[in-house]
Each structure stands twice: as C-alpha cells, then as structure tokens.
C-alpha cells in the first residue's frame, strides 16, 4: 500500500525551504532540529549555493565530504600535492606515505599510452547488408560533413572525429548495426561533444537513407535505437610505474628484508592477477586513490569506475589492474588503467573547489591529469598491499577507526592519549572503546 503522506506531486516546484518543510514533517521525528541541521550546511554565499544547486535537482542542502591533500608526489620529476576527496580513513595517509616512500626512490614514472574515446550509434537495418557496406565510404563522408559545425572548435584544438566504422551485430541481435565512432577530445572529457555528434549522425543517416536511390525503398526498415558515448575507453589508457633495487626495500618491514618483502609483495599482486575475488578488492584499493582525485577535480567517478572494471576483465577474466615483477633484483610495480578525464568543461570549470584542485595541480592538461590520477592509484595500491603483506591492514585502519570512535564519544585529550596506548594491543570496537572510557570516567567519579 502506498503511504499517501509520503508521496507528493509538484515537489520540484516547491522552494528549497518548502521542500525541507515537507520532508522534515513527513519523515523525521524532530522537524525543527532536522531543519536547523540541513540548513546549517547551506553555503554562506548565496551565489556559490546557486552554483552547487545547479549541478543537480531537488537539492535541499549540501553533503560535506573531507577534502584532503597528499603531498610529495614526484611524477616524471615534477612534485605535486594531490587533492583527494574521500570519506574513508587511512586512504590519504596511505597515499602520502607511499608518495614519500617513492619520492626517495626516483618517484613515479608515467606515460599516456593513448587518448582515443568511443561513441556508438545503435540502429536497426532490415535492408540488404551490402547496401550499407558497399556504400559505407560515401555514407561516412556525408556523416563527417554533416557534423562540421559541431566539430569545428574541437578540430581547432587539435581534436575531432578520428574514425567511423560500421559494425555488423546481426549475429548477436536481429537487424542490429552500429556506427562505432572514434574521437579525440583534447582537454575535455568530451561526453557532450561525442553525444551531440552521434545524435547528428543518427538524423543524418536517416535523411541519407530516405533520399538516396536504392536506399529509400528500404527506409521503413531503418530505425535509430540510441546514440551514446561508450564509457569503455580501452584506447584512453595511462601507465604509472615505480621501480627500485630490492635492497632499497630494506626496512619497509620489521620482519622481512628487502628481498623477502619484494617477493611477498609480488605474490600478493600475482594472486590478484589470477583470482577475481582478490582482484576486486585489490582494484578497490586502486580506486580508493583514483576516485578521490577524480572527485576532487570534478570528474565523473562513475564513468571511471565502470570503465576500469571492464578493462580489468578485458581478457575474459576479471584481474588486477596492477602488475609486479622482480628481475635481476629490480623490483617493478606498475598500473595500466583507462582514464577518460577532462580539465576543461563540465564540473571541472564550474565547481569552485574542483577549480582550486586543478590550480593546486598546476592547471594540468587532461593527459597530465591522467598521469597524476594513475600515480595516486598506484601509490594507494602500494600502500594497501604493503600493509597486507607486512603488518596486516587492521593496524593502520584501527588507529583511524579508534580516533573516529573516540571523537564520537567526545573523548578528552587525556582520554585519547590513554586510549591510544591501551588499544595498541587491544581489539578496537565501538563497545570496547566505550567500556574503556566508561571505566576511566567511573574511577574519576
Ligand atoms: C580498503 O578500502 C582497501 C583495501 O582492502 C585494498 C586491498 O585489499 O588491496 C585495503
């Protein structure tokens, strides 16, 4: 049964206060307190708030996330302080530690392998296949000509449409064909550009079929299903790597020498190459770093994640995105990941803090940003796997977790100090920390 007081028509037309009023009265026990709390996150500057509201719909407040920085990232000899938006404790600390560690060992070396993006026009064609394939060069020429007004600016910046292919998908789905289109979008992520061009191609192909002799008698059998970019960009890939002599890994662990550490580390990465269960968690660690920078720079983390995971399955099995080798005592650790990001357009130039993030990074091109993001992903992966094969992950995590619980329980500075010593050897849980604080507070009474 529909709960009538919880549904509404015309919600989007209400003012922001009106929206909050309806929400707090229908969903919360303490409307006044919730209203105060929600409105307390409104930006103090009305113009800035308008910008934020403009990114979405039905906005009632802002959702704050921590914005941290990881300094000391040396990438191809340049030093960066990397902005990271993430809500998980120890991610920024791990990135900073790994950055510092590799700064002393030559830093990260990164290379953009390719920057091509893909879009598809999916259409049905019931006419003879040869009519399409035999005339495809002419069709292609006409499509390219029709999109000139859309591509002119991008071409001026050195980009545009790089190729169009006709793909026959009829063996998978009846009458289905695709135009697989390739794009260079320079410093923009390019979603709007690509989608506009593809939609133009759809209408142009329809017109071509309707007016061209031999095609027009089959025009009833032509139907555009959809025109949309693909977030799978296996030809927009960056590589980040670190390397050093195994002797330089001496001291990473109290229990293992450099050679032993390197071997354990490589085995952990190899496990993630062969086992999808481990690979998923391993790659999640990589995306802890990647997503944090993608978010901080106003890029689309859903697109980046979706693409990264497809890429991790490119040979038919889901595998780690990073690799490790030890040859002649040289430890090498590297990551290859597709990253379709932009540094102009979209949120990157509208979100006030995303703009600052890019400034902090020295106003990088999209290719430079790809390299910074990949290095952060690799640093994160190094930090996580290093912990896993040495102390275990809980040690670092639990310290942060402990701090969060202490904060939540309003521990004093003195109590925090005592708790840090106590929980060095004890298991951290909300209950154990509360009991610890309670017993101390009891004694005081
Ligand atoms: C936690 O957010 C990420 C890790 O699980 C990654 C990994 O296991 O490699 C620590």
255-272 tens-digit pLDDT: 999 999 999 999 999 999
Average pLDDT over residues 102-123: 98
Task: Quote the pTM value.
Answer: 0.91
pLDDT level of residue 428 (50, 70, 90 thresholds): confident
202 in contact with ligand 1, CB cutoff 6 A: no
pLDDT at 346: 87
Please give the structure tokens belonging to residue 190. Answer: 């390019």
Element housing 296 (H / E): helix 276-296
The answer, yes or no, to whether residue 445 has pLDDT greater than 70, is no
377 in contact with ligand 1, CB cutoff 6 A: no
Atom of ligand 1 nearest to the CA of 282: 9
Ligand 1 centre and the CA of 384: distance in Å? 6
The answer, yes or no, to whether residue 394 has pLDDT greater than 80, is no
Atom of ligand 1 nearest to the CA of 288: 2
Q: Are 286 and 381 in contact (CB under 8 A)?
A: yes
The answer, yes or no, to whether residue 225 has pLDDT greater than 80, is yes
pLDDT at 357: 98
Q: Provide the CATH number for the domain formed by 117-230 in this structure.
A: 3.30.70.420
Ligand 1 centre and the CA of 281: distance in Å? 6
Residues catalogued as catalytic? 88, 284, 300, 397
Q: Over the stretch 227-252, which tens digit does the pLDDT of each residue have?
A: 999 999 999 999 999 999 999 999 99
Angle between helices 301-312 and 276-296 (to 10 degrees): 150
User: Which residue lies with its CA nearest to atom 4 of ligand 1?
Assistant: 285
pLDDT at 401: 83
Ligand 1 pocket mutation pick from 93, 273, 285 by most atoms within 8 angstroms of CB: 285
Atom of ligand 1 nearest to the CA of 381: 9
pLDDT at 143: 98
Residues in the chain, overall count: 445
Ligand 1 centre and the CA of 211: distance in Å? 58
Ligand 1 centre and the CA of 388: distance in Å? 8
The answer, yes or no, to whether residue 318 has pLDDT greater than 70, is yes
Portion of the chain with pLDDT greater than 70, in percent: 98
The answer, yes or no, to whether residue 49 has pLDDT greater than 90, is yes
Portion of the chain with pLDDT greater than 90, in percent: 91
Q: How many CB atoms lie within 10 A of CB 276?
A: 14
385 in contact with ligand 1, CB cutoff 6 A: yes
Ligand 1 centre and the CA of 284: distance in Å? 6
Q: Which fold has domain 67-109+240-389?
A: 3.90.770
Question: 63-77, 174-188, 392-406: lowest mean pLDDT where?
Answer: 392-406
Average pLDDT over residues 415-437: 91
The answer, yes or no, to whether residue 2 has pLDDT greater than 60, is no
Please give the structure tokens belonging to residue 313. Answer: 């399955």
Q: Over the stretch 321-376, which tens digit does the pLDDT of each residue have?
A: 999 999 999 999 999 999 999 999 889 889 999 999 999 999 999 999 999 999 99
pLDDT at 196: 98
285 in contact with ligand 1, CB cutoff 6 A: yes
Ligand 1 centre and the CA of 376: distance in Å? 14
Rank 154-163, 387-396, 427-436 by mean pLDDT and report only the highest.
Answer: 154-163
How many angstroms separate the CA atoms of 82 and 362, rounded? 10
Atom of ligand 1 nearest to the CA of 91: 2
358 in contact with ligand 1, CB cutoff 6 A: no
Average pLDDT over residues 380-398: 88
The answer, yes or no, to whether residue 309 has pLDDT greater than 90, is yes
The answer, yes or no, to whether residue 5 has pLDDT greater than 80, is no
DSSP letter for 188, please: B
The answer, yes or no, to whether residue 162 has pLDDT greater than 70, is yes
88 in contact with ligand 1, CB cutoff 6 A: yes
Ligand 1 pocket mutation pick from 97, 268, 282 by most atoms within 8 angstroms of CB: 282
User: Which residue lies with its CA nearest to atom 7 of ligand 1?
Assistant: 282
384 in contact with ligand 1, CB cutoff 6 A: yes
The answer, yes or no, to whether residue 97 has pLDDT greater than 90, is yes
What is the sign, positive or negative, of the torsion defined by CA atoms of 149, 150, 154, 158? negative
How many angstroms separate the CA atoms of 110 and 336, rounded? 10
User: Which residue lies with its CA nearest to atom 6 of ligand 1?
Assistant: 285
- Round the average pLDDT of the chain to a whole number and report it: 95
Q: Are 283 and 310 in contact (CB under 8 A)?
A: no
Average pLDDT over residues 384-400: 85
Question: How many helices, marked H, and strands, marked E, lie in the chain?
Answer: 16, 10
The answer, yes or no, to whether residue 392 has pLDDT greater than 90, is no
288 in contact with ligand 1, CB cutoff 6 A: yes
């Amino acid at each position: 049964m529909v709960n009538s007081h919880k549904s509404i028509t015309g919600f989007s037309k209400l003012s922001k206060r009106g929206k909050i009023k309806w929400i707090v009265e229908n969903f919360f026990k303490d409307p006044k307190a919730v209203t105060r709390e929600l409105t307390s996150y409104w930006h103090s500057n009305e113009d800035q708030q308008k910008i934020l509201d403009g990114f979405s719909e039905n906005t009632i407040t802002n959702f704050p996330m921590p914005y941290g920085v990881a300094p000391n990232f040396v990438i191809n000899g340049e030093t960066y302080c990397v902005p990271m938006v993430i809500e998980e404790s120890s991610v920024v600390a791990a990135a900073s530690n790994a950055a510092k560690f590799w700064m002393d060992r030559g830093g990260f070396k990164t290379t953009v392998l390719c920057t091509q993006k893909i879009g598809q026009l999916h259409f049905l064609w019931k006419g003879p296949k040869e009519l399409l394939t035999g005339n495809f060069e002419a069709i292609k020429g006409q499509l390219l000509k029709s999109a000139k007004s859309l591509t002119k600016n991008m071409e001026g910046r050195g980009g545009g449409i790089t190729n169009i292919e006709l793909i026959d998908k009829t063996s998978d789905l009846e009458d289905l064909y695709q135009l697989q289109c390739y794009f260079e979008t320079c410093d923009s992520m390019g979603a709007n550009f690509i989608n506009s061009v593809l939609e133009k191609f759809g209408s142009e192909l329809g017109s071509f079929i309707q007016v061209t002799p031999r095609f027009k008698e089959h025009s009833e059998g032509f139907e555009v299903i959809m025109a949309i970019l693909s977030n799978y960009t296996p030809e927009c890939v960056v590589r980040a790597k670190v390397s050093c002599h195994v002797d330089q890994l001496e001291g990473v662990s109290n229990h293992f020498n450099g050679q032993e550490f390197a071997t354990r580390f490589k085995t952990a990465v190899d496990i993630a190459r062969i086992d999808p269960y481990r690979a998923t968690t391993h790659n999640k660690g990589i995306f802890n770093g990647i997503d944090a920078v993608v978010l901080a720079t106003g890029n689309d983390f859903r697109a980046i994640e979706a693409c990264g995971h497809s890429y991790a399955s490119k040979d038919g099995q889901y595998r780690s995105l990073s690799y490790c080798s030890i040859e002649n005592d040289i430890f090498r650790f590297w990551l290859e990941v597709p990253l379709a990001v932009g540094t102009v357009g979209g949120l990157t130039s509208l979100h006030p803090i995303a703009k600052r993030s890019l400034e902090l990074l020295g106003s990088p091109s999209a290719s430079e940003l790809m390299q910074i993001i990949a290095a952060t992903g690799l640093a994160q992966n190094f930090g996580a796997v290093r912990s896993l094969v040495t102390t275990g992950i809980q040690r670092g995590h639990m310290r942060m977790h402990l701090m969060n619980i202490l904060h939540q329980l309003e521990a004093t500075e003195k109590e925090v100090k005592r708790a840090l010593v106590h929980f060095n050897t004890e298991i951290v849980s909300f209950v154990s920390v509360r009991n610890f604080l309670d017993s101390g507070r009891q004694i005081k009474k």
